[in-house]
Amino acid sequence: MLEYHQQSSLEIMKRLDVTNQGLNDYDVQNRKKIYGSNKLVEGKRTSTFAVFFGQFKDLLVIILIIAAFISFLLGEVGSTIVIMIVVILNAILGTVQHVKAEQSLDNLKALTTPVAKVMRNNQIVEISSEDIVVGDLLYLVAGDYINADGRLLESHNLHINESSLTGESFAVAKSTEPINENHVSIGDKKNMVFTGGFVTTGRGTIIVTAIGMETEIGKIANLLDTAKEKKTPLQVSLDHFGENLALGITMICVAIFTIDLFRGRELVESFMFAVSLAVAAIPEALSSIVTIVLAFGTQKMAKENAIIRKLYAVESLGSVSVICSDKTGTLTENKMTVQQVYTDQKVIPKDQLNTEIAIEKNLILMALLCNDALERDNIEIGDPTEIALVKLGKQYGLDELIVRSNNPRVAEIPFDSDRKLMTTVHRSNLQSMMITKGAVDVLLPKIAKIETSTGVRTITEEHRNKIEEVNRDFSMNGLRVIAIAYKDIQVHQSIDAWGERDLIFVGLIAMMDPPRKESKASVESCIKAGIKPVMITGDHKITATAIAKQIGILNDPSEAIEGYEIEGLTDQQLQEKVQDISVYARVTPEHKIRIVKAWQEKGHVVAMTGDGVNDGPALKQADIGVAMGITGTEVAKDASSMILTDDNFSTIVKAISNGRSLYTNIKNAILFLLSGNTGAIFVVLYATVLGLPVPFAPVHLLFINLLTDSLPAIAIGLEPNNKNTMKDKPRDIQTPLLNKKFTIQVMLEGLLIAISTIIAFRIGLQTGDTLTATTMAFTTLCLSRLVHGFNSRSKESIFTIGVFSNKYTWLAFLIGFLCLHLVLFIPSLTGVFEVATLSGVQLVIIYSLSCMPFLVNQWYKLLFVRSTK
C-alpha cells in the first residue's frame, strides 16, 4: 500500500473513511476501541506497596528493627511490640504523605493536559489531546503543539518546528502536495506533521494518521520518562543539611553510648537508648514536609487560578521583585469595543457610520473579511480585536458569515504579533482583492494610495500626517488602533509578506479595552510589597502609556519606551536604564528576553508573562515564566512554570503572596522540628554530663518522635496566609533558609523546652523515684513540644494572628494530647511505655512547665515583634 505522504488528501480521507464533517460519536467510540488512547506509554509508577516498603530502607529504621529483634531475644516483648508499632506507624505516615503529595501533583498535571481542536459531527470542538483518534480532522494554528501524526489537508503558510524529531531548529514550511517517492525521511515529508512538533506560523488542517505509540516519536521513545518531579533547591539543600545533621547527631549518640557503657550501663540498654535518641533527634521528615506542604499549597493556588507546573517555582515566587506583564487581557479585560472610526479624512463615532456611503461600508466589509472571528447567539469565537470588528458589522446589519461567503477567501497570511499585520485574499469575478489590516505604524509605510469619497488618490504627506495625528489622538485615550488597506491583484497571484506593499489606505478603527477592575489595586499592592510591575505590550506606546497611567504602573511618560529603542542599547546600557522603565511598547519576543536578562543581571527575580509561540525563550529565561491559560498557546504553556487560568495580573500577585506564605510556613515547620529535637538532645546531654540517671526510656523517645514530628509540622505548613505577607519586601533569594539567625532561634527555642523538661526531671528525682522522674521528663518534653507547635505558626504572637485561625494545629495538638494521656492513664499501656502513675500535683507541675516555653515565646513576640498591622 502507498504511504500517506504519497497519496492525495482525498485518497487518504477515503482510506481512513472520513468526510469533511469529521468523525461522528459512533466512529470515535469504535476507533478508540481499535487504536486506544492517544498517549505515549509511561514508565511504571512505584506502587503504594513499594512506597510503603521503601520506608523501611532507611538506615535508622533498620537499626530500630534490629533493636526490636534484640529486645525480643532478651525476652522484652513489650519493647519489641512498641518499637514495631512505632516503625509501622511511621511507615504508614510516610506512605500517606507520599501518596497524598503525588496525588495532588497528579491533579495539577491533569489541569494542564493539552487540548486539540477537531472537527467532529460537523462542528469544531476542543478535546483533550488524549482523545484524538485516527481519522480525526485536526486544526492547527500558530503556537499549537502537535499531538498526533497526520497528513495535511490544508496549509496556510504553515511552518512547523520539528526539532524534537529531526534536530533541525528551523521551522519547516508545509504543503499539501503528495510526494511521489517511496522512502522519504521524516524531515522531508513536507505534507505531514508529527507528534512533538509545534506550529511557529500559519495555520492548517490535518487528518490524523497515527496516534500514541504508533506515531513516529512513539516508535523512537518506547518509554516516556515518568517525568519525575525534580527536587526543589530548598529540598536539595535540606537533604544536604539533613545528612550533615544526621552525622552530627549520630556522633553525639555514639558519645552518649560510650559514656553510658563507661558508667557501667548494660550494653543492650545503652544501645537501645542511643538508637532511640538518634531516631528522635534526626529530623527525617524535613524534605518530605516540604513536598507535602508544597503539594497542598499548589492545590490551593490552582483553586485560585494559578496552576504551578514546576514545584521549584513556588520557592522563587516569594522572592519575585519584578513582574513583567502583558497588557492586553492580563492588565486589561480583553473585551474590545469599537469606539471611533477614521475614514475619508473624518473621525466618526461608531454609532454614526453610514453604510449608504461606499467608503464607510467598504471599511466595515474589509474589517469583516480580513478577520477570523465569529459571533453566534452571543457566543464569541476568536481574537477580541476581531470580535469587536464583527460586532461593528452586526450593528450595521452586516453579518460576517454572509459577507465572507459572498467573497470567498482564497489565500491568507495569518496575524502574527511579530509582524503586527494580517492579510487575506478574496476572489471576485476577474480579479482578486488583497486586504491587509494591522498596526498603523507598521501598515502606513506600505501604503501608496488613499481611498476617498471622490476616488483613489496618491497618498500625500498631508494625508499621512493627518492619519498619524488621528492615531495619536485615539491612542492618547487608551484606544487600540487598527489600520485597514487593500489592493487588487491578479487571480491566482500567490502572496507572501513581500506583496504587502503599494496598498490603498481605507481607514482606521479604534477600540477600547478597559483595564480590569482589580488591576489598579493589585499594582498598588505590588508596589507596597517591594515588587516593580512593568508593562510589556505589542500595542502602541501612547495607548500603553495611557492605560499604564490609569492603573498606576507609570507616573511619568518618560518611563515608557518602544521596543526598537532597546535595539540601540547595549546589554550594559539596558541594565542601567531598566529600573527606570515601566512600559515597553511595540515589543517583540526578543526584546522580552533582553528585558528579563537585564533585570536578572541587576540581581532581581523576575516573573514574565507570555502567550505567543515566540514567547517560549523569554518564559524559560524568567525565574517564573507565566503563561496565559485562556489566550496562551500550548508552546507558551509548555515553557512556563505557572499558568494563569484566568489570564489575570491580580492572580500573579495572589500567587506571589501564596508563594511567600508557603515559604514562611515551610520555614516555620522546620523551625518547629529542629527546635523540638534540639530540646531533647539538650536534656540528654545535660543528664549525661551531670551523671544523672537517663531521663527517657527508649520508648519515650520513639513515642515523642511519632507524635510530635510530622503531624504538627504539617499543620504548621498549612497555616493560612497572613494578611501582612505583602507588606514585607521580597525575600532575598541568596539568603539561605538555614542561616545564622535561624540557627540561633532553633537553639533558643530548644533551650526553653529543655529547661522545662530538666526542671520536671529534677522535681521528679527529688520527690520520687527514677521512674517518676523519667515519666515527668517524658511527659513534659512531649507536651511542651506539642504546645510549641502554636509558637511555630508565625513570627508574630498567636494572639495577634488568631488563636484558632489554623485548625490543623489544634487537631495535631489534640491528637498528641489524647495519645499522651492514653499512655499515661490506661493501665495496660503504662507498663509497655514504662511510665509511673502521676499524682494530680505532678500533673499540674508538668502542665505548667510545658506551657513555660509557650508563654516566654508569646511574651517575647507580643512585646518585641513589630506587628506590621
> In this chain, which stretch among 26-34, 436-444, 785-793, 806-814 interacts with ligand ATP, using CB under 6 A?
436-444
Contact 773, 761 (CB under 8 A): yes
Q: Does 763 help bind ligand ATP (rule: CB under 6 A)?
A: no
Q: Does 386 help bind ligand ATP (rule: CB under 6 A)?
A: yes
Q: How far is the CB of 508 from ligand ATP (least distance, A)?
A: 10
> In this chain, which stretch among 457-465, 533-541, 761-769, 829-837 interacts with ligand ATP, using CB under 6 A?
533-541
Among residues 385, 640, 668, 842, the one that binds ligand ATP under rule CB under 6 A = 385
Identify residues 795-854 at the interface with ligand ATP (CB under 6 A): none
What is the rounded CA–CA span in Å between residue 323 and residue 622? 10
C-alpha cell at 869: 498591622
Buried b vs exposed e over 188-200: b needs ≥16 C-beta within 10 Å?
ebbbbbbbbbbbb
Element (H, E) at 391: helix 384-395
Q: Does 400 help bind ligand ATP (rule: CB under 6 A)?
A: no
Closest to ligand ATP by CB, 417 vs 791, is 417
Among residues 174, 437, 487, 597, the one that binds ligand ATP under rule CB under 6 A = 437
> In this chain, which stretch among 155-163, 437-445, 589-597, 750-758 interacts with ligand ATP, using CB under 6 A?
437-445
Contact 592, 536 (CB under 8 A): yes
> In this chain, which stretch among 48-56, 311-319, 514-522, 532-540 interacts with ligand ATP, using CB under 6 A?
532-540
Q: How far is the CB of 634 from ligand ATP (least distance, A)?
A: 17
Q: Does 232 help bind ligand ATP (rule: CB under 6 A)?
A: no
Q: Does 660 help bind ligand ATP (rule: CB under 6 A)?
A: no
Q: Does 136 help bind ligand ATP (rule: CB under 6 A)?
A: no
Q: Is 854 exposed, middle or buried (0-12, 13-18, 19+ CB in 10 A)?
A: buried
Q: How far is the CB of 319 from ligand ATP (least distance, A)?
A: 25
Closest to ligand ATP by CB, 599 vs 663, is 599
Closest to ligand ATP by CB, 212 vs 515, is 515
What is the rounded CA–CA span in Å between residue 51 and residue 62? 16
For residue 265, the 8-state DSSP code is -
Among residues 90, 97, 298, 537, the one that binds ligand ATP under rule CB under 6 A = 537
What is the rounded CA–CA span in Å between residue 754 and residue 751? 5
Closest to ligand ATP by CB, 561 vs 760, is 561
Q: Does 482 help bind ligand ATP (rule: CB under 6 A)?
A: yes
Closest to ligand ATP by CB, 247 vs 347, is 347
Q: Is 827 exposed, middle or buried (0-12, 13-18, 19+ CB in 10 A)?
A: exposed
Closest to ligand ATP by CB, 553 vs 697, is 553
- Report the alpha-carbon angle 160-161-166, nearest 5: 120
- What number of residues does the chain have? 869
What is the rounded CA–CA span in Å between residue 507 and residue 100? 59
Is 144 noted as a catalytic residue in this protein? no
Contact 119, 22 (CB under 8 A): yes
Report helix, strand or coil for 116: strand
- Tell me what percent of the chain is helix, strand and coil, each rounded to the nearest 5: 55, 20, 30
Which is nearest to 325 in space by CA: 582, 101, 111, 110?
582
Q: How far is the CB of 217 from ligand ATP (least distance, A)?
A: 31
Among residues 155, 288, 291, 417, the one that binds ligand ATP under rule CB under 6 A = 417
Which is nearest to 15 in space by CA: 112, 100, 99, 135?
135
Q: How far is the CB of 552 from ligand ATP (least distance, A)?
A: 17
List Cα–Cα distances, 301 to 111, 227, 292, 521, 689, in angstroms. Answer: 12, 22, 14, 20, 50
Identify residues 297-326 at the interface with ligand ATP (CB under 6 A): 326
Q: Does 594 help bind ligand ATP (rule: CB under 6 A)?
A: no
Q: How far is the CB of 464 from ligand ATP (least distance, A)?
A: 17
Q: Does 80 help bind ligand ATP (rule: CB under 6 A)?
A: no
Question: Would you give the end-to-end CA distance of the chain in angstroms?
Answer: 76
Identify residues 689-718 at the interface with ligand ATP (CB under 6 A): none
Strand stretches in 421-502, DSSP E: 421-427, 431-438, 447-452, 455-458, 479-490
Closest to ligand ATP by CB, 385 vs 774, is 385
Q: Does 592 help bind ligand ATP (rule: CB under 6 A)?
A: no
What is the rounded CA–CA span in Å between residue 848 and residue 619? 55
Closest to ligand ATP by CB, 218 vs 414, is 414
Q: How far is the CB of 556 from ligand ATP (least distance, A)?
A: 20
Closest to ligand ATP by CB, 287 vs 417, is 417
What is the rounded CA–CA span in Å between residue 141 and residue 201? 7
Nearest-CB residue to ligand ATP?
538
Q: Is 210 exposed, middle or buried (0-12, 13-18, 19+ CB in 10 A)?
A: buried
Among residues 439, 704, 715, 823, the one that binds ligand ATP under rule CB under 6 A = 439
Q: How far is the CB of 125 from ligand ATP (least distance, A)?
A: 23
Identity (one letter) of the amino acid at 749?
E
Please, where are the H alpha helices in 175-232? Answer: 216-221
> In this chain, which stretch among 255-263, 536-544, 670-678, 827-835 interacts with ligand ATP, using CB under 6 A?
536-544
Among residues 212, 438, 695, 816, the one that binds ligand ATP under rule CB under 6 A = 438
Closest to ligand ATP by CB, 366 vs 798, is 366
Site string for ligand ATP, 354-383 (x = CB under 6 A): -----------------------------x
Which candidate in 326, 611, 623, 638 is catalytic?
326
Closest to ligand ATP by CB, 327 vs 793, is 327
Q: Does 615 help bind ligand ATP (rule: CB under 6 A)?
A: no
Q: Does 538 help bind ligand ATP (rule: CB under 6 A)?
A: yes
Please, where are the H alpha helices in 38-76? Answer: 48-54, 59-73
Count residues binding ligand ATP (CB under 6 A): 21
List Cα–Cα distances, 206 to 34, 107, 432, 632, 705, in angstroms. Answer: 20, 31, 27, 22, 60
Among residues 31, 174, 540, 541, the one that binds ligand ATP under rule CB under 6 A = 540
Strand stretches in 468-616, DSSP E: 479-490, 503-512, 532-536, 560-562, 583-585, 606-610
Orientation angle between helical segments 840-864 and 740-767, nearest 10 degrees:
160
Q: Does 614 help bind ligand ATP (rule: CB under 6 A)?
A: no
Closest to ligand ATP by CB, 439 vs 529, is 439
Q: Known catalytic residues?
A: 326
Binding region for ligand ATP (CB under 6 A) = 326-329, 383, 385-386, 415, 417, 420, 422, 437-439, 480-482, 537-540
